[in-house]
Structure formats: C-alpha cells, structure tokens
Chain A
Amino acid sequence: GIQVEQSPPDLILQEGANSTLRCNFSDSVNNLQWFHQNPWGQLINLFYIPSGTKQNGRLSATTVATERYSLLYISSSQTTDSGVYFCAVLPTQGGSEKLVFGKGTKLTVNP
C-alpha cells in the first residue's frame, strides 16, 4: 500500500519563528489533507489540497502531486500552534475510500 512519511518527527520552536513541515507519499493520490490534532485528540482540518497552493492566515500549504510531496508552512508561530500535525492522503489505487495518515510531526512552540 501507499506509504506516507512526514518530517521532521519533532520540532521545537520559539514563538514567532517560521517552520516548514513535509509530507512525502509513495504513489498517486486523489486527495491530500493536513490536520492539526489538539491536546484533546480532535483533528482540525487545515487544508484540503490535492494539488497547488492555498493560504489561510499564517498557514499555507503546497502540494506537488507529480513529485509526490506536500509542504505545510507556519509563519510567526504561536504557542497555540503546538500539537501534532498530520498529513493524510486518499490513494488513487485500491478505491477512494480510506485516508492513509503519516505518523505526524509533533510541534512545540515555546513562549
């Protein structure tokens, strides 16, 4: 099955710093989503981005489907950005029903 790798696994920043999170996937996909999981376990939708670039406030994402990667940019980080960021893809092969998640990037933003 498709492999989804996220890097780095852990990231520690000072408030105000910028960061880039990466997601590589091993096969073609119909869909790619970025999530932020808060300390209570809720997955918050950040981006639905099978290709191209999107921006939402301090966050932006770019997916290059032909090269099988996606990047999540966080600018001017805040302590509330702390948590785990997941990339999830919907593989083209084997039907279109299941999201396959990476292992996540744990972000800690210190004041």
Chain B
Amino acid sequence: ETGVTQSPTHLIKTRGQQVTLRCSSQSGHNTVSWYQQALGQGPQFIFQYYREEENGRGNFPPRFSGLQFPNYSSELNVNALELDDSALYLCASSWTPPDEQYFGPGTRLTVT
C-alpha cells in the first residue's frame, strides 16, 4: 500500500510569483485535504476535496486554489505569493469524511 506522497520537497519562490504543489493520495482514498503549517504552530486547514469537488474551505484568500483529479491526486495553487506564505504545506488523504486522515511528508515553501 502506497502512502501519501507530495512534490516537490522544497521550493523557493519570489514574492508575486505563482506556485503549484502536488499530492498523491494513499491507495484507496478519495478525499484530500491541504493544510498550512507556519513555524512553531499547528497545521491550519486550507481546503478539502472529495470526489473532485471542494468540500470545505478554511480562512484562506481566493489566491489559494486547488484541484482534484479523477485518480484522486490533488494540486494546491497559490497566486501572488506573499512573504507570509512561507510555510510547510501538508496534504492528507482519507477514505470519506470524517475518516482518519493520513499525512504526506510536506512541501516546504520559502518566499523571498
């Protein structure tokens, strides 16, 4: 059974640029959730995709957007990057809400 994978591992971007982060869900899971973790804090929910539809969104501006594909993998897109977007971005997959969520290794984004 393959676990949750994320790419890339690390990324450095300049303020104002756009970034796409990718997540492959664990085998058999149809739900993907994205979280942002700032240094020294707990992860904060960005949004969730269930069967290719957005299924809830946290307090993040519209420049954070996402997709889920028919194979249940997902992308997180962030436009007009700001310095405060520097964080660890975590993807989690699960069977159906509110099932147990399993996390990937994360993508560490640095915005300069």
Contacts and interface: CB of A to CB of B under 8 A. Distances in A.
A96 B101 CA distance: 12
Contact of A99 (B33, B41, B108): B33
A89 to B, nearest CB: 10
Q: Is the interface of B mostly helix, strand, loop or mixed?
A: strand
- Chain A interface residue bracket vs B: 20 to 34
B24 interface: no
B61 to A, nearest CB: 17
Interface residues of B, number: 27
A29 B56 CA distance: 17
A33 B100 contact: yes
A95 B50 CA distance: 13
Contacts, number: 64
A86 B42 contact: yes
A56 to B, nearest CB: 14
B100 A97 contact: no
A83 to B, nearest CB: 14
Given A31-B98, A99-B35, 18 more contacts: A30-B98, A33-B100, A40-B105, A42-B105, A43-B92, A45-B100, A45-B103, A88-B43, A95-B56, A96-B97, A96-B98, A97-B45, A97-B48, A97-B50, A97-B56, A97-B97, A99-B92, A103-B41
Interface of A: 4, 30-31, 33, 35, 40-43, 45, 48, 86, 88, 90, 95-104
